[in-house]
Structure 1
Amino acid sequence: MTQHTNFSTRLDDLQKRVQTAKSAVQTAATESEAQLKERIDRAQSNLDQSAQNARQETSQAADSARAKWAQVKADAAAKMSDVKANMDKRTRHMDAKLAANDADWAEADAAEALDFADWAVDNAQLVILDSIHARAHADKLAKAADNS
């Protein structure tokens, strides 16, 4: 399997994950509070695991490019709010205005996360295209060296 094929497969996997996330969000809008809390617990656990993996990648990364991306992932994970803690705090709100403000902040966080995801996809596209160009150039030079 060539690296190009691997990128295509990973983009397909990413597309499936986006579709799964979209479906989960649409379903969550109709769920009971208990179901929503369970869904949030699972999502928070997945995010926590991803953050732990990113921290491990950062500490294990040998080359600068891998270390750079691992650090970006670790930094992004560190900036994510603890949704479960926010949810627990939210249930103690008795004031409608405070609850509305909390909802506004949560919606703003969601919008920022989507903006970051959008940037990450654009960035991935650029870096993948660059890697394809770099591999084509290396292959061209190797072929020229073999012919001389």
Structure 2
Amino acid sequence: MTQHTNFSTRLDDLQKRVVTARSAVQTAATESDAQLKERIDQAQSHLDQSVQNARQEVSQTAEGARAKWAQVRADAAAKMSDVKANMDKRTHQVDAKVAAKDANWAEADAAEALDFADWAVENAQLAILDAIHARAYADKLAKAADNS
């Protein structure tokens, strides 16, 4: 399998994850509080695992592009709030104005996460195009060297 095929497969996987996330969000809007809390626990657990993996990758990779991207992932994950803690704190609120401010903050946080995801996709596209160009150029030079 060529690297180009691997990029296509990974983009297909990413697209499937977006469809799954969209479906989960749409379903969550109609779920009970208990179901929603369970869904949040699962999502938080996946994010926590991703944070752990990114930090491990940073510690294992000394330099280069892989280390830079691992650090970006670790930094972004570290900025993500602990949703479960926020949810637990929220259940103790009795003031409607405080709850409304909390909801506004959570919605703004979600919008920022979507903006970051959009930025990440744009960066991935640029990096993939650069990788394809770099491979094509290396193959061209190798072919020229073979023909010499």
TM-score, normalization by structure 2: 0.99
Query: 2:133 — aligned with what?
Result: 133
**Aligned length, in residue pairs:** 148
Displaced runs of 4 or more, over 2 A: none
Structure 2 CA distance for aligned equivalents of residues 64 and 142 of structure 1: 24
SS of residue matched to 1:31: coil
Query: 1:5 — aligned with what?
Result: 5
Deviation at 1:60, TM superposition (A): 0.8
Deviation at 1:61, TM superposition (A): 1.1
One-letter amino acid of the counterpart of residue 15, structure 2? Q
Deviations 1:72-112 (A, max 9, x none): 00000000000000000000110000000000000000000
One-letter amino acid of the counterpart of residue 42, structure 2? R
Deviation at 1:63, TM superposition (A): 3.7
Query: 1:19 — aligned with what?
Result: 19
- Let me know the Cα RMSD of the aligned residues: 0.5
Query: 2:145 — aligned with what?
Result: 145
Query: 2:76 — aligned with what?
Result: 76
Deviations 1:106-139 (A, max 9, x none): 0000000000000000000000000000000000
Deviation at 1:64, TM superposition (A): 1.2
SS of residue matched to 2:94: coil
One-letter amino acid of the counterpart of residue 55, structure 2? R
